[in-house]
């Protein structure tokens, strides 16, 4: 995807249809990711690129959950969901660029980003920011489509790359680039969603924050 204004424009158009198009088909991956974020009691959890808030009802009630998103229209729908479902554990839904978060270092115990890494202009900055705002030892959970390592799928993904704008996500984000670049420990990688074509990555925030990635 391209710049933030382009992303905002895409999600302004997509927001009324988002739950129908991307709700049920990605639900199992969201459930699996949030289940890992929910492991410990009384946590501060950040949902990055919260969208229309489809995952918000899944967080445990003793958590304090904050969602951020670049799109006001997506956030409006998330806010309506919070009110409709009386989600008292949701402490804030804030318009914010995930690549330049306004939070202090170590503000959250767990940080989750579902279907966001292939949408932001720079996935490395996204991961670096997730790491910065997460406490050492905290959980970082990413659900995304990642580039296949070879075969026909790799060819399809490569040829789809120029059309990222049209298909709404970049099909060639490389998992190991993210993990290595951010110097995060991978706890587990699990295939999720339709046909296992998406992956849930559970990182542990082990390494100290990397100054080079801070709001670079
Ligand atoms: C595919 S949707 C995923 C929404 C939600 N996580 C879900 O699983 O349904 C991607 C979301 O990321 C948001 N987004 C894209 N770039 C962003 C950025 N730089 N900062 C914050 N949010 C961003 C979009 O506005 C959109 O709501």
CB of 49 sitting under 6 A from ligand 1: yes
Question: What domains can be seen in the chain, in order of their start residue?
Answer: 4-213 (3.40.50.150)
- String of DSSP letters for the chain: ---HHHHHHHHHHHTTTHHHHHTGGGHHHHHHHHHHHTTSSS-EEEEET-TT-TTGGGS-TTSEEEEEES-HHHHHHHHHHHHHTT-TTEEEEEE--TTS--SPTT-EEEEEEES-TTTSS-HHHHHHHHHHHEEEEEEEEEEE----SSHHHHHHHHHHGGGHHHHTS-TT--HHHHHHHHT-EEEEEEEESGGG-EEEEEEE--SPP-GGGTT-
Per-residue model confidence as pLDDT tens digits over 85-102: 999 999 999 999 999 999
* 180 Cα to the center of ligand 1, angstroms: 23
Q: How far apart are CA 69 and CA 47, in angstroms?
A: 9
State which ligand 1 atom lies nearest to the alpha carbon of 29: 8
Q: How far is CA 20 from the centre of its chain?
A: 19
Per-residue pLDDT at 133 exceeds 80: yes
Which DSSP category does 71 fall into?
-
State which ligand 1 atom lies nearest to the alpha carbon of 143: 8
**160-169 mean pLDDT:** 54
Residue from 111, 116, 125 nearest 204 by CA: 111
State which ligand 1 atom lies nearest to the alpha carbon of 4: 19
In the structure, what pLDDT confidence band is assigned to residue 160 with cuts at 50, 70 and 90?
low
Q: How far apart are CA 97 and CA 68, in angstroms?
A: 8
* pLDDT (0 to 100) of residue 193: 85
**26-34 mean pLDDT:** 96
* pLDDT (0 to 100) of residue 211: 42
* 164 Cα to the center of ligand 1, angstroms: 15
CB of 99 sitting under 6 A from ligand 1: yes
* 212 Cα to the center of ligand 1, angstroms: 24
CB of 198 sitting under 6 A from ligand 1: no
Per-residue pLDDT at 155 exceeds 80: no
Model confidence, pTM: 0.88
CB of 147 sitting under 6 A from ligand 1: no
CB of 69 sitting under 6 A from ligand 1: yes
**104-124 mean pLDDT:** 94
* 71 Cα to the center of ligand 1, angstroms: 8
Q: How far apart are CA 28 and CA 85, in angstroms?
A: 20
CB of 18 sitting under 6 A from ligand 1: no
């Amino acid at each position: 995807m391209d710049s933030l204004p382009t992303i905002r424009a895409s999600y302004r158009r997509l927001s009324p249809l988002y739950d129908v198009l991307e709700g049920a088909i990605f639900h199992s991956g969201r459930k699996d990711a949030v289940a890992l974020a929910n492991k410990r009691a009384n946590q501060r959890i950040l949902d990055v690129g919260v969208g229309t808030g489809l995952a918000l009802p899944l967080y445990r009630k003793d958590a304090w959950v904050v969602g951020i998103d670049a799109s006001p229209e997506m956030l409006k729908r998330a806010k309506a969901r919070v009110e409709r479902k009386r989600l008292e554990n949701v402490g804030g839904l804030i318009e914010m660029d995930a690549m330049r978060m306004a939070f202090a270092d170590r503000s959250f115990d767990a940080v989750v980003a579902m279907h966001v890494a292939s949408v932001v202009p720079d996935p490395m900055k996204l991961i670096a920011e997730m790491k910065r705002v997460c406490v050492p030892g905290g959980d970082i959970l990413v659900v995304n489509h990642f580039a296949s390592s070879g075969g026909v799928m790799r060819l399809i993904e490569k040829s789809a790359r120029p059309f990222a704008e049209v298909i709404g996500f970049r099909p060639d984000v490389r998992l190991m680039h993210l993990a290595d670049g951010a110097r995060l420990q991978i706890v587990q990688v699990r295939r999720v969603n339709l046909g296992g074509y998406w992956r849930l990555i559970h990182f542990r925030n082990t390494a100290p924050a990397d100054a080079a990635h801070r709001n670079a």
